Amino acid sequence: MQETHYRSCNLCEAMCGLTIEVEDSRVTSIKGDKEDPFSRGHICPKGTELKNLYEDPDRIKRPLKRTESGWEEISWPQALSEVARGLHEVQSKHGNDAVGVYLGNPTVHNYGSMLMGQKFVNRLKTRNLFSATSVDQLPHQLLAYWMFGHQLMIPIPDIDRTQYMLILGGNPIASNGSLMTVPDVRKRLNDIQKRGGKYVVIDPRKTETAALADEHHFIRPGTDAYFLLGLVRILFEEKRTQGPVHYSSEELQKLENLAKSYELDAIANITGISVESMRKIALEFADSESAVCYGRVGVSMQEFGAVCQWLINVINAITGNMDRPGGAMFTLPAVDVVDPKSVMRTSPGSFNDYQTRVRGLPEFSGELPVSALAEEILTEGPGQIRAMVTNAGNPVLSTPNGAQLDQALEGLEFMVSVDLYLNETTRHAHYILPPTSALEHDHYDLVFNVFAVRNTTRFNEPVFAPEDGMLHDWQIYADLAKRMDFVRAGKPLPEKVIESRLTPASMIDYALQAGPYGTRSGKGPLSLEHLKQNPHGVDLGPLQPCFPHRLCTEDHLLRLVPAEILGDEDRLRSRFEQWKSDQKNGKELLLIGRRHLRSNNSWMHNMAKLMTGKERCTLMVHPDDATRFGLSDARQAVVESRVGKITVPVEITADIMTGVVSIPHGFGHTRKNVRWQVASEHPGVSINDLTDDQAIDALSGNAAFSGVPVSVRPAD
Ligand SMILES: Nc1nc2c(c(=O)[nH]1)N[C@H]1C(S)=C(S)[C@@H](COP(=O)(O)OP(=O)(O)OC[C@H]3O[C@@H](n4cnc5c(=O)[nH]c(N)nc54)[C@H](O)[C@@H]3O)O[C@H]1N2
Ligand SMILES: Nc1nc2c(c(=O)[nH]1)N[C@H]1C(S)=C(S)[C@@H](COP(=O)(O)OP(=O)(O)OC[C@H]3O[C@@H](n4cnc5c(=O)[nH]c(N)nc54)[C@H](O)[C@@H]3O)O[C@H]1N2
Ligand code: SF4
Ligand SMILES: [Mo]
């Protein structure tokens, strides 16, 4: 029997609509869905791999328990009970904070896991909550909280209407866009050019996105804050600022004073971008009919990640491009998570309400920076983490100084992982609880509809029923949350999986109906049923201006210069002085990362079709540096940092700035007892065995991956 299913891909942020053909319970083809009004048929090579992910023989299908003789398959009730008891035991012996939690990136691509996982995590009542946020977008959320009053009021580039886009530290043509859900980004960037606009890229590497840009400027890693300050200074000098609009004139004055205290010549020396180039960019930006500045991981994962995100918002605001078509705008999603009256409202945020035990790093919105995780496990004393729960993550490969974390996890009293695979992290678990894979569960994108470049919505029905004896992420967490209550109350534990009457779909139905386009709120046709009738998705129109009513600050003004940023000024200035007087010894190179279209962080390397072609885990080096350090193409080099040393093949290319080298993250599948057969044939090495857990943005606590000082030499 042949059937056609429609659902969107949940692997990255782009949410591409897929047309999935199934014959006799096997997927026969996955293509882009041309009738999806948002993605318009776009798909990348990873989308079709949902089939192989579903069929992957390495995927875990039954709960696993680590025993003396290896992994043993056990029943769900046994696994869930032993996990609940294990966690309870650690907490009753050592206190609630003795259990740590790490939520990986795919958590936010799985609404069931988010909705029910949250209930379970709340039950644990631990402060030791970590996630991929603090190796990623923490500065974006922090500045949204400070400037707009809500951590999820993140400004989104109105890419379809802008006439000038300035991109820093993002490579959307490889990553398919981030904090800008934008399927088919190559075409949308090209459309800017076709309508007479332009886009400009600031990046230490001439990336796939930079290669097609109107202009590309190399920048020294970690110096973007000064480049952005330079632009702000020029905007003031050239009288291109607007305002006050939605902010006070005192704030504008404070900003001007700050920017004018950084000299343009010094900025040019430090960043490698000339004063003329800065001036050209600033003036073209300001004089464009509309313009938007966008910065992504390359500028959030650095020493001044928070300052960078602040200045990006500032540039959009003072040129009149904040909250206007073609500038930086805000979504009004079908399930609103920002409006305090919404049934799905989330916390506006919190900052520094408490700190990590060892290093005193600040909390953000109930989470602590993951750069501190290993030391919280390794450092003895009250409050030490003795047990971990990991969900959909691989922090051994994805967080700084991963080797240290690897070692820390080995010594835990108890660890449970909810994951599809035995990866570099979950191999340390005592129990692995495997959920269904994407094609077996329904999905509503709670997160990426909020960050989309158009208001859009769809509901994704499962393609297959779950295999016998498999549970969804949400079912695992719904059970565990209740089972913890039983254990704590000293009651006998249920011998069956505890069913929940509340389902993620029912929660979404309620939220859709009550939401800004819903039937119950009388504002539109949306309900779960309506979305099921429209399987290609529903377009809700372009982004609309929403200031001041949607601003979540008390006075409904945007805070142009948050006090916390001013508090970071001394650090910003002293680093500036340090850069100015930096006597380059010529021995040090600055390490950055990169992404490849056919990868997805650490976990798609097990898909054989994605792994064909040239070796991907290489050290990119500029020809001049290769000569300087005696490196030859395709030969091995030793790269060494404060925390570690790895050996990696060299790729000589003029597409990287001199003084900079690059290695992609997510590789390093060489550790023992990992069950990733294909990935093990393309193991590569982990860049995060070089990145430094002590290198952070001291203001936000975010990891500073960009610009790690390393030495490089030939391996033989
Ligand atoms: N040096 C350097 N390090 C980086 C980065 C960088 O640019 N440079 N990028 C950082 C960024 S932005 C991020 S987001 C992190 C990502 O880092 P992590 O979130 O720690 O790791 P992933 O590789 O995304 O985790 C994948 C795991 O999730 C599991 N998984 C997938 N789908 C599901 C699901 O539906 N349910 C469950 N339970 N499990 C699932 C997979 O089986 C796999 O084991 O890496 C960060 N690390
Ligand atoms: N194919 C693929 N797609 C993905 C992922 C993946 O692993 N593979 N991961 C997903 C995830 S979790 C995320 S968060 C997004 C990230 O999406 P993007 O932010 O677009 O990610 P990258 O491609 O790593 O782009 C970061 C860029 O920053 C540059 N950079 C590094 N340091 C600096 C610096 O100091 N200054 C400046 N100006 N630039 C710098 C790098 O050279 C790189 O080109 O991608 C998502 N999509
Ligand atoms: S671009 Fe992202 S959402 Fe689209 S098919 Fe590729 S991985 Fe899936
Ligand atoms: Mo990410």
SS (H, E, C) 162-215: CCEEEEECCCHHHHCCCCCECCCHHHHHHHHHHCCCEEEEECCECCHHHHCCCE
**Is the CB of 477 inside a 6 Å radius of any atom of ligand 1?**
no
| Among the listed residues 144, 317, 155, 150, the one whose alpha carbon sits nearest the alpha carbon of residue 247 | 317
Q: How many CB atoms lie within 10 A of CB 65?
A: 17
Edge to edge, the sheet with strand 215-217 lists: 215-217, 198-202, 164-168, 292-295
Question: Which atom, in ligand 1's list, is nearest to the CA of 437?
Answer: 35
Pairing outcome for strands 99-103 and 387-391: parallel
The CA-CA-CA angle for residues 681, 686, 692, to 5°, reads: 175
Q: How many CB atoms lie within 10 A of CB 698?
A: 15
| Among the listed residues 561, 640, 655, the one whose alpha carbon sits nearest the alpha carbon of residue 258 | 561
* Cα distance between residue 550 and residue 515, in whole Å: 15
Q: How many CB atoms lie within 10 A of CB 356?
A: 21
Helices (H), 540-692: 563-566, 569-581, 623-629, 677-681
The CA-CA-CA angle for residues 501, 506, 507, to 5°, reads: 105
| 247 CA from centroid of ligand 2 (Å) | 32
Task: Specify the residue with its C-alpha closest to ligand 1, atom 32.
Answer: 106
Ligand 3 site residues (CB inside 6 A) read 9, 11-12, 14-16, 43-44, 46-47, 176, 183
* Cα distance between residue 237 and residue 234, in whole Å: 5
**Is the CB of 605 inside a 6 Å radius of any atom of ligand 2?**
no
pLDDT of 244 reads: 78
Task: Name the token pair of 667.
Answer: 């590789």
**Is the CB of 398 inside a 6 Å radius of any atom of ligand 1?**
yes
Q: What is the pTM of this model?
A: 0.98
Task: Name the token pair of 709.
Answer: 């000082």
**Is the CB of 602 inside a 6 Å radius of any atom of ligand 2?**
no
**Is the CB of 388 inside a 6 Å radius of any atom of ligand 1?**
no
Using CA atoms, how far residue 156 sits from 90, 151, 300, 326, in Å, is: 43, 13, 15, 10
Residue carrying the six token digits 């700035």 = 657
* Cα distance between residue 101 and residue 469, in whole Å: 26
Task: Name the token pair of 462.
Answer: 């499962």
**Is the CB of 602 inside a 6 Å radius of any atom of ligand 1?**
yes
Task: Specify the residue with its C-alpha closest to ligand 3, atom 6.
Answer: 44
Extract the residue ranges of the chain whose pLDDT is less than 50: none
Spatial contact of 288 and 294, defined as CB atoms under 8 Å apart: no
Residue type, 274: S
Helices (H), 494-622: 504-514, 528-533, 563-566, 569-581
**Is the CB of 600 inside a 6 Å radius of any atom of ligand 2?**
yes
435 DSSP assignment = B
Residues 6+ apart with CB under 8 A from 60: 419, 420, 421, 422, 432, 434, 675
- 581-618 pLDDT, tens digit per residue, is 876 656 799 999 999 999 999 999 999 999 999 999 99
| Residue from 101, 394, 604 to probe ligand 1 pocket by mutation (most atoms less than 8 Å from CB) | 394
Residue type, 491: K
Task: Specify the residue with its C-alpha closest to ligand 3, atom 2.
Answer: 12
C-alpha dihedral (621, 623, 625, 626), degrees to nearest 10: 80
**Is the CB of 665 inside a 6 Å radius of any atom of ligand 1?**
yes
Q: Identify which ligand lies nearest to the alpha carbon of 50.
A: 3
133 DSSP assignment = G
* Cα distance between residue 396 and residue 104, in whole Å: 11
| Among the listed residues 206, 171, 193, 202, the one whose alpha carbon sits nearest the alpha carbon of residue 12 | 171
| 132 CA from centroid of ligand 4 (Å) | 7
Q: Is the peptide bond before 155 cis (omega within 30 degrees of 0)?
A: no
Task: Name the token pair of 319.
Answer: 């040129």
| Domains of the chain, start order | 2-55 (2.20.25.90), 64-136+341-505+534-541 (3.40.50.740), 506-533 (no CATH), 588-714 (2.40.40.20)
Residues 6+ apart with CB under 8 A from 165: 157, 159, 189, 192, 197, 198, 199, 200, 291, 292, 293, 294
| 142 CA from centroid of ligand 2 (Å) | 19
SS3 287: helix
Question: Which atom, in ligand 1's list, is nearest to the CA of 420?
Answer: 42
Pairing outcome for strands 660-662 and 589-592: parallel
Q: Identify which ligand lies nearest to the alpha carbon of 109.
A: 1
Question: Which atom, in ligand 1's list, is nearest to the CA of 113?
Answer: 36
Task: Specify the residue with its C-alpha closest to ligand 1, atom 26.
Answer: 393
* Cα distance between residue 150 and residue 371, in whole Å: 24
| 178 CA from centroid of ligand 2 (Å) | 8
| 690 CA from centroid of ligand 2 (Å) | 18
| 524 CA from centroid of ligand 2 (Å) | 37
Dmax over Cα atoms in the chain, in whole Å? 74
pLDDT of 582 reads: 78
Question: Which atom, in ligand 2's list, is nearest to the CA of 666?
Answer: 7
